[in-house]
Structure 1
Amino acid sequence: MSTDHRALAGDAALERALTGPADPPLRALPADAAALLRDLAAPPRLGAHLRVVHHAAWEVTEALGGGVEPVFDRSAVLFGAATHDIGKVRHPDELLGPGSRHEEAGHRLLRERGVEERLARFARTHAAWRTEPVELEDLLVSLADKVWKGRREADLEEMLAARLAECAGGRAWEWFLRLDDAVAPVTATADARLAYQSGHAAR
């Protein structure tokens, strides 16, 4: 296959990951995030991963409902979920195994592409909720990056519930229960999202 044909096949595979059908359906990425992935010729599996994490973030923030959104920037959370692992374009081995080099690399890549810090930061903070000062939005992106695959992190959810109580009022335990209700439907369909991601090539 010629270089041009390989490039076209790669473009088509990425496009299927970004916009193709899924069961259950997945929401489209924010247009600016999708454009970045196309411009970077991201591996299809990375596109699929970012799509499922973005969908989880959308579902959780939507389910939290009234009285919450004014205390955080939902569009920033959704963009962060849609780009948090973009550094794996530069470290594609971390698509198939553990590694953290993609975090700083993703932050640098986004800044190089003109993405402002308030949105680029999620590439660096999504795995740092235990070790660095983070905002409510960062915690929501971190949560989405866990629950899309059915994983629950009690420490993260307790921290998020406490921050919601601090920012929006109410008691932390009430927010914990509300958060649990928001997360449960996402984790219930995790197997389908895992299958969707695995169905896309890592290279």
Structure 2
Amino acid sequence: MTTTLPPLPPDVAGLLRAVDAPPRLVAHLALVHQVAEEIADFCAREGLVFDGGAVRYGAATHDIGKTVHPEELSAPGSRHEAAGHALLLSHGVPEHLARFARSHASWGEPGVTVEELLVSLADKAWKNKRVQDLEDHVVDRLAAAGGRERWEAFLALDGLLTRIGEDAPRRLAVQAAHPVRTG
């Protein structure tokens, strides 16, 4: 098995080096970013209008707060969310991009944007975790955007997520091959 990671945007890769992000975190962000690209491309083809660059950036940085709370790389926790948002802002990242670090687990909140939904979906889909409530929000947006019946949008998204999920064991193994700590 190869442990080569998909590329991250150069500015994100530089930021991750600057904050000394652990290898496992870099692997996770690269893998979620790759899945976000698949989801974004699919949603754009389905007629959904959104900021694809923001989705890709958000997926590539959503867990950056785990550099501040590295214990959350191997255990549950949410302290990394606010910490990541603050970290990104302190490095000059604009709010419209930094917000994903804070919002990637908040898809059920009022006023959630389609971009936030797609980053949240990528963060689940990369490991084949299906979250019905989250997927329902995306299906609703897809159906409205494409003027389709809800069931048609559901079937299309379900097909995409099933295909993405089939590669989850490989992605999980690639992430696990990278150490939690630097050095």
Q: What is aligned with 2:133?
A: 155
Q: Quick one: which amino acid aligns to residue 90 of structure 1?
A: V
1:202 equivalenced with 2:172 (yes/no): no
The answer to whether the Cα contact below 8 Å between 2:5 and 2:27 also exists between their aligned partners in 1 is no
The answer to whether the Cα contact below 8 Å between 1:58 and 1:78 also exists between their aligned partners in 2 is yes
Q: For 1:168 and 1:134, how far apart are their aligned partners in 2?
A: 20
Could you list the runs of 5+ residues in structure 1 that have no partner in the other structure?
Answer: 1-21
Q: Quick one: which amino acid aligns to residue 40 of structure 1?
A: V
1:53 equivalenced with 2:15 (yes/no): no
Q: What is aligned with 2:11?
A: 32
Counterparts of 1:81-100 in structure 2 under 5 Å? 81-100=59-78
In the TM superposition, residue 167 of structure 1 has moved relative to its aligned partner by 3.8
Shift in CA distance, 124/88, structure 1 to aligned 2, threshold 3 Å: same
Could you list the runs of 5+ residues in structure 2 that have no partner in the other structure?
Answer: none
Q: Quick one: which amino acid aligns to residue 128 of structure 1?
A: S
Percent sequence identity is 52
Q: For 1:193 and 1:67, how far apart are their aligned partners in 2?
A: 26
Which of 42, 47, 50 is the aligned partner of 2:21? 42
Q: What is aligned with 1:107?
A: 85
Shift in CA distance, 41/26, structure 1 to aligned 2, threshold 3 Å: closer
1:63 equivalenced with 2:3 (yes/no): no
Q: Quick one: which amino acid aligns to residue 82 of structure 1?
A: A
Q: What are the superposed Cα offsets for residues 148-175 of structure 1, whole Å, 9 maximum, x if unpaired? A: 0111111111111102233443232221
Q: For 2:70 and 2:152, how far apart are their aligned partners in 1?
A: 40
Q: For 1:168 and 1:115, how far apart are their aligned partners in 2?
A: 32
Q: What is aligned with 1:121?
A: 99
Q: What is aligned with 2:149?
A: 171
How many residues in Structure 1 have an aligned counterpart in Structure 2? 181
The runs of 4+ residues in structure 1 deviating greater than 6 Å are none
The answer to whether the Cα contact below 8 Å between 1:64 and 1:178 also exists between their aligned partners in 2 is no
RMSD: 1.7
Q: What are the superposed Cα offsets for residues 71-92 of structure 1, whole Å, 9 maximum, x if unpaired? A: 1111110110000000000000
